[in-house]
Structure formats: C-alpha cells, structure tokens
C-alpha cells in the first residue's frame, strides 16, 4: 500500500514520538497509519506502507491488541484480518489513559502499599514512609479520576476538557454555593 506524502510525514513523526509514549518507533508508526487511514488495513498493507517485515507487523499488532487500541474486522470474501482504530478520538484517548495507568501507576501503587505495611526500623524509615504515603495518596486520586473518566461519554469528556481555565472557578463556586 502506498501512503501519501502527508501521511508519510505524520507517520515518521509518530515513530519518533513512539518511544516517548511508552511504545516504540514501529508501534508509533503502525498506529499512526492505522488511525490516519480511513479503510481498515491488513498486515501486508502495513508492512508495505512502513517498509518493515511482516513478522514485525505481527508482533506490533499483538502489542496494539494488548493496549486495546485496535479493532479487528473481516472483509467478506477476504480471509485476511483487517484492523482499524476507533473512529471516536475520545475513545482512543480514554483507552490510552487507562492503559498507561495500568502500566505506569498500578504496579507502583501496589509497591507503595507494601512499603506502608512494613514496620519502620528507624527515623530514616519513618521519613521514607511519610513520603511513600504522600505518593500513594496522590496516585490513588489519579486512579479514581481515570476510573471516573472511563464512565464518561465522549460528549461529557469533551465538555469537561473544554472548560480548561474555567475549572478553577468552578471549584470556587462549588465551595461557596454547594458545600456550605
């Protein structure tokens, strides 16, 4: 499959960024081409578009599946598997947030909890546990938020995010009008 110059340059950029996003170059490129192309793509097309081996594509697809970022579909009369990204960009964002949380926060939260269970052996450990507690509480709040986000419709999420600079004011209003 041939890709346009515009797609090509975007694909290269997302490849560069891939590693910063906890993926890697190839995964970034693969997801870019899938997201930016309207029609579902099969592995051979991706392999050709990105000039990477078929086996590399297979491994990449496996990874993208584990991130829940792609949808598998079949085309009548064609035995190949075709992949596409959700058409709703908010759905992609929601998925990314929750999957990153799983990978970046959950394991740490569990380790922090373990550390809090231990008996501090001296003042140094007491300070350490104090810090651990702070981190733990913060991360738990972030987890609550990402869970909340999962339950929100794309419309509501868009509204919330659009509030941007308004959020601080809403907080004030809430304090003043609703909770006292």
What are the residues whose beta carbons fall under 8 Å from the beta carbon of 56, sequence distance 6 or more?
26, 47
Q: Of DNA, its own copies, none, which one sits near residue 37, judging by CB under 5 to 8 A according to partner kind?
A: its own copies
- Where does residue 36 rank: exposed (0-12), middle (13-18), buried (19+ CB within 10 A)? middle
Q: Which of 79, 162, 176, 180 binds DNA (CB under 7 A)?
A: 79
Query: Binding string to DNA for residues 6 to 45, with x set by CB under 7 A, is what?
Result: -------------x----xxx---------------xxx-
| Binding status of residue 73 toward DNA by CB under 7 A | no
Sign of torsion, CA 30 54 8 34?
A: negative
User: Between the CA of residue 56 and those of 27, 50, 82, 153, what are the distances in Å?
Assistant: 10, 11, 16, 35
Maximum alpha-carbon separation in the chain: 70
- CA–CA gap between residue 167 and residue 180 (Å, rounded): 19
Interface with its own copies (CB under 8 A): 4-7, 9-10, 13-14, 16-17, 20-22, 35-38, 89-90, 93, 103-104, 107-108, 111-112, 115, 118, 120-122, 124-125, 127-129, 131-132, 134-135, 138, 141-142, 144-145, 147-148, 151-152, 156, 159-162, 164-165, 167-168, 170-171, 173-175, 177-178
Q: Note the residues at the interface with DNA (CB under 7 A).
A: 19, 24-26, 42-44, 52-56, 58-59, 61-62, 78-81
């Amino acid at each position: 499959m041939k890709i346009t110059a515009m797609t090509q340059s975007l694909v290269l950029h997302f490849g560069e960024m891939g590693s910063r996003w906890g993926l890697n170059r190839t995964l970034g490129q693969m997801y870019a081409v899938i997201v930016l192309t309207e029609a579902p793509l099969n592995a051979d097309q991706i392999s050709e578009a990105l000039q990477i081996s078929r086996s590399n594509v297979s491994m990449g697809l496996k990874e993208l599946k584990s991130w829940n970022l792609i949808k598998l579909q079949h085309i009548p009369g064609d035995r190949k598997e075709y992949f596409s990204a959700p058409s709703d960009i908010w759905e992609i964002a929601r998925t990314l947030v929750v999957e990153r949380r799983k990978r970046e926060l959950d394991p740490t939260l569990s380790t922090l909890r373990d550390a809090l269970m231990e008996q501090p052996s001296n003042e140094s450990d007491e300070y350490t546990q104090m810090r651990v507690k702070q981190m733990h509480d913060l991360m738990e709040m972030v987890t609550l938020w990402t869970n909340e986000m999962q339950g929100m419709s794309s419309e509501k999420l868009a509204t919330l995010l659009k509030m941007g600079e308004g959020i601080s004011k809403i907080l004030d209003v809430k304090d003043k009008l609703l909770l006292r």
